[in-house]
Structure 1
Amino acid sequence: MKLLWTGLLILTLLVLSACGQDSSNNAKIVEGKVNVVTTFYPVYAFTTAIGGEDANVINLLPTGVEPHDWTPKSQDIVNTSKAQLFLYNGAGLEGWVPNFLKSLNSDTQVKSVAVSEGVKLLTAEGDDGHGHGEEHEDEHEDEHADEHTDEAASEDVADHHIDPHTWVSPKSAMIMAENIKNSLVEADPDHKAGYEQRYEELRTKLETLDQRFTDELANVPNNEIVVSHQAFGYLARDYGLTQHAIMGLSPDAEPTGQDIVKLAKLVKDEGIKYIFFEELVSDKLAKTLASEAGVETMVLNPVEGLTKEQATNGDDYFTLMEKNLQNLLIALK
């Protein structure tokens, strides 16, 4: 019996350990380095690229988790309270940020920065079902966020449907990268040269990606895309595309049967060949519309996070955006 209980105890500990590894990146604060907490993958990817060996970057969102469905845990509060920088997208993406900042230790020295500052923000055609933009006004009211919120966004505070998907366009990503670099330099001026050098390398890659999107999409005969939710507004604006979203067609974001019929008619009328879906959310609506319209489905990735398979394969922002470009070229030819 004692052996049985011992075996069960070990098994339980292994299961709990595995669950912990699956739900958290288990990152720790490192003494002697600038510690940066980021909210989700794109901000983390740009920060690690610029920070290099000089920064310890902790990403809150676990691999394989869609950011709209996630909320921070107690350990996230502990880590952020001890960090020097807290970098989040802003523009209403992380609706939990205002309360999160209020919950940090009273003696925290962390500086919070909305890295989408300076991006000319878009408004969405109503709620997309994830609460995007609904907490935008609260961000501006919060004492921690006031110093760092987006001036361009402040003009749209009254509109609760800001499109937060800034990073999906390389043009906006360049602005975000510069904000991240400036934040690192301010927090850790001793390593300014390294941050500047790595930022220039990242910017060159983003400029190359931007030019590829510009050149390649300028030659496609069609420019209409149908996507599962309104994640591609900045991409569409910057590269001459028109986005039609299944989610967000009606105010409560759940499309009615009539919405699907109307969109299916648009697909047929415009000769659209593919309905795009995302890997981290259900493809049910995209497949329903594709079936109704008699077309196929294809992935268009909003790069909100990596799947576990993508992480294992070494995918990153650039490989995923390159795949997006290739899929767009197939769909729009």
Structure 2
Amino acid sequence: MNVRRLIPTAAVAGAVTLGLTALSACSSSDAADRKSGDKLSVVASFYPMQFLAEEIGGSHVSVTTLTKPGVEPHDLELSPQQIGGLSDADHILFLKGIQPAVDDAVAQAGVKNTVDAATLTTLESHGSEVDGHDHGAEEHEEHAGEEHAGEEHAGEEHAEEAGLDPHIWLDPVKYAEVAQGVGKSLEKADPDNAADYRKNTQTLVAELNKLDKTFEDGLKNTATKTFITTHSAFGYLAERYGLTQEGIAGLDPETEPSPARIDEIHAVAEKNKATTVFFETLASDKTAKTLAKDLGLKTGVLDPLEGITDKSAGADYIEVMQSNLAALQKALGAK
């Protein structure tokens, strides 16, 4: 279940090649169209893509995001100005299946250097929709061909049509694979600065490898492997580290669970010694607190990292993921 690895370039070469096929037509002529010293204009769909663009692009890029801090990304509606401005970008980085409005606008923009992060790694399915929630790691293999469970937003249904979970950034290993693909795409879009993009990519991948090892060590010995969450976004994380995500029923993390579902969660919590119901920073904690009170459990924040605000437990992806690890260790009784 928990296959270990650092992230060598060769291991993801196939995925990166597939993801960059659309960029093969790009050449140094694209860079020549910009004035000497101009930064590469990069549009990112939401925070996980913005972080990659900024970390890898460094001083050579000017990054704007379509999803402002504090905005729930799945429900994003683009203004006419945002849609029209996309065609002026030098590079677009998005994740298909998360934000339907973005998917449609990107398709219409026709920008050569457009990268769908989902093509830079392998998407997987997690759990089933038989009982309306996500079973996580233990049942991943049993239901590998079935649709991902308990999806909280209609915006993810595009990816879910194929039974695939789009939350790849919450697995440091898959996120590192995506980072390498993004680095390659920036090299193609701006060959004059390729060496810097390559160096920045290596630095970021090393940080993600370190984060992965920290999660592996920190979650190796726990009193329980089950965590309950209102947002079923942590299937990849659960699978990577041998955990089980138990999502609350409903497409929206604020949906009130049915009495039958509360009984199911209660049984799961007792059987697996679960202690905590997690909620997220960009959605209401009402459901989590109500359920926790009914079941005599605690509540906590597990951040799906779809946006950074002043309420986030960290200033960037790495810091918030470290906070997520600490929250999981506490809830799972890490030794």
Task: For structure 1, list consecutive stretches of 5 or more residues without a partner in the other structure.
Answer: 1-29, 137-156
Does residue 221 (structure 1) correspond to residue 223 (structure 2)? The answer is yes
SS in structure 2 of the partner of residue 172 of structure 1: helix
Counterpart contact for 2:278–2:302, Cα < 8 Å? yes
**How far has the Cα of 1:123 moved from its partner?**
2.4
Number of the residue aligned with 1:166 = 168
SS in structure 2 of the partner of residue 225 of structure 1: strand
Alpha-carbon distance change, 212 to 181 in structure 1, aligned in 2, over 3 angstroms: same
**How far has the Cα of 1:292 moved from its partner?**
1.5
Number of the residue aligned with 1:328 = 328
Number of the residue aligned with 1:135 = 158
Does residue 179 (structure 1) correspond to residue 181 (structure 2)? The answer is yes
Give 1:1-333 correspondences, 5 Å limit. Answer: 32-90=38-96, 92-104=97-109, 109-124=111-126, 125=128, 126-136=149-159, 159=162, 161-248=163-250, 255-310=257-312, 315-333=315-333
Question: What amino acid is aligned across from residue 165 of structure 1 in structure 2?
Answer: H
User: Deviations for 1:175-201, whole angstroms, at most 9, x for unmatched residues?
Assistant: 111111011011001100110111111
Task: For structure 2, list consecutive stretches of 5 or more residues without a partner in the other structure.
Answer: 1-33, 129-148
Question: What amino acid is aligned across from residue 134 of structure 1 in structure 2?
Answer: E
Counterpart contact for 2:171–2:236, Cα < 8 Å? yes
Q: Which runs of 4+ in 1 moved over 4 A?
A: none
Between the two proteins, the alignment pairs up a number of residues equal to 275
Please give the root-mean-square deviation of Cα atoms over the aligned residues, in Å.
Answer: 2.2
**How far has the Cα of 1:260 moved from its partner?**
1.5
SS in structure 2 of the partner of residue 255 of structure 1: coil
Identity of aligned residues (%): 35
**Equivalents in 2 of 1:101, 1:120: separation in Å?**
21
Question: What amino acid is aligned across from residue 228 of structure 1 in structure 2?
Answer: T
Which one has more relative contact order, counting CA pairs under 8 Å at least 6 apart?
2
**Equivalents in 2 of 1:194, 1:256: separation in Å?**
53
**Equivalents in 2 of 1:300, 1:314: separation in Å?**
12
**How far has the Cα of 1:101 moved from its partner?**
2.7
User: Deviations for 1:150-198, whole angstroms, at most 9, x for unmatched residues?
Assistant: xxxxxxx853x42111101101110111111011011001100110111
User: Deviations for 1:48-97, whole angstroms, at most 9, x for unmatched residues?
Assistant: 0000011111111101111112122122223311111111122x112223
**Equivalents in 2 of 1:88, 1:69: separation in Å?**
15
User: Deviations for 1:284-330, whole angstroms, at most 9, x for unmatched residues?
Assistant: 111121112101101111111012344xx961001100000011111
Counterpart contact for 2:230–2:288, Cα < 8 Å? yes
**How far has the Cα of 1:115 moved from its partner?**
1.2
**TM-score after normalising by structure 1:** 0.77
**TM-score after normalising by structure 2:** 0.77
**How far has the Cα of 1:112 moved from its partner?**
1.8
Counterpart contact for 1:226–1:275, Cα < 8 Å? yes
**Equivalents in 1 of 2:185, 2:166: separation in Å?**
20
**Equivalents in 2 of 1:212, 1:225: separation in Å?**
19
Structure with greater Cα Rg = 1
Counterpart contact for 1:132–1:162, Cα < 8 Å? no
SS in structure 2 of the partner of residue 272 of structure 1: coil
**How far has the Cα of 1:248 moved from its partner?**
4.2
